[in-house]
Amino acid sequence: MNTTFRKLIIASGVALALGATSGAATEDSPSGNPSDIRLEERISTTYALDPHLQEGDITVSVADGKATLTGTVPEDIHKEMAEQFARNVEGVTEVDNQLIVDAEYVPPETTDSPGFGERIADATITAAVKSRLMWSRHAEGLATDVSTTSGHVTLEGTAESEEASELAERLAMTTTGVISVENRLEIRDPDTAEAPDTDDGPVAGPRETASDTGDYISDTWITTKVRSTFIWSSGVSARDISVSTEDGIVTLSGEVDSEAEHQMAIELAEQLRGVRRVDASGLTF
């Protein structure tokens, strides 16, 4: 796995774990040390938050700062990710990775009631969809409420055109973890449309959020959003694509698996606000 991409997903997972409640289920710590128990909870919570590691059956035990991982995961990369996540939890001094890789492993069936990991995954999907809509150059006039249940996304609110509505649906559908999208957006005149009344607020177009730092959209902002868009987009491997921006011109380089992935990467970058042009001459397949 590309080192930069691995650091990105590790940092994201650890940050979420540190911010989450400590109610994740773990085995009793062999040492009984409260510090070890907290480490087990943080590592297990990190695994619960990651959609890839949710596919495995991982048990964590910590003794005197040494984390031991046992269980089964479907791929080598999942075993590596599990170890790297554990190593990046503050307080862990050593990791004994005893995970078994079994390509034919099938996760146990879940109950009808969503678990902690699934609820967090839904919240993460909702946040990702909202961000992607807000960053889009075509979000002008969108006032969208996004909700997610077990990977099924619902879009409610208004759009000023069919094109904007279809784009919102496409951006949601191509977000990692999304199973389906129900598009309930209504087409209305932007001068008369009312934003949906939600606790988190609607996704607003650039009239309200031109960029993170004001009306001027910097090259750094664009590069960050392109990378984030790739990470959260199904069908594009963010770890295989390098991104840089100069004067609004985005340059993509690296190697992807297919012409379809190549074209999708270009389209995703082109639709972001502030992007003047995309140079993908260095992106091969």
pLDDT, one tens digit per residue, over 8-46 is 444 444 444 444 433 333 344 444 566 888 888 888 877
pLDDT greater than 90 at residue 81: no
| Nearest-angstrom CA–CA distance, 50 and 272 | 26
Give the contacts of 41 (CB within 8 A, at least 6 positions apart): 22, 23, 24, 26
Query: How would residue 190 be classed by pLDDT, with cut points 50, 70 and 90?
Result: low
The pLDDT, as a whole number, for residue 38 is 83
Task: For domain 219-284, say whether CATH 3.30.1340 is its number.
Answer: yes
Integer CA distances (angstroms), 67 to 13, 23, 99, in order? 17, 19, 12
- b (16+ CB within 10 A) / e for 268-283: bbebbbbbeebebeeb
pLDDT at 118: 61
The pLDDT of residue 164: 84
Q: What's the pTM?
A: 0.53
Which tokens go with 119? 């609820």
Average pLDDT, stretch 204-224?
A: 61
The mean predicted confidence, pLDDT, of the chain is: 76
pLDDT of residue 248: 92
Is the model's pLDDT at 243 over the cut of 90?
Answer: yes
For residues 40 and 49, give the distance between their C-alpha atoms in angstroms, rounded to a whole number: 14
In degrees, rounded to 5, the angle at the alpha carbon of residue 226 between the alpha carbons of residues 221 and 231 is 125
The domain segmentation of the chain, as residue ranges, is: 3-101, 116-204, 219-284
Architecture of domain 116-204: 2-Layer Sandwich (3.30)
- The owner of tokens 């005149």 is 189
83: exposed, middle or buried (Cβ count in 10 Å: 0-12, 13-18, 19+)? middle
Is the predicted pLDDT of residue 174 greater than 50, yes or no? yes
pLDDT on residue 275:
93
* pLDDT score recorded for residue 262: 93
Listed in order, strand segments (DSSP E) in 168-240 are 180-187, 203-204
Q: What is the pLDDT of residues 117-141, one digit of tens each?
A: 566 678 878 888 888 888 888 766 6
In percent, how much of the chain has pLDDT > 70?
Answer: 70
Identify the pLDDT of residue 196: 47
Residues 6+ apart with CB under 8 A from 129: 146, 148, 153, 171, 172, 175, 178
Cα angle 166-167-168, degrees, rounded to a multiple of 5: 90
Give the residue-averaged pLDDT of 215-229: 84
Q: How confident is the model at residue 110 (pLDDT cuts 50, 70, 90)?
A: low
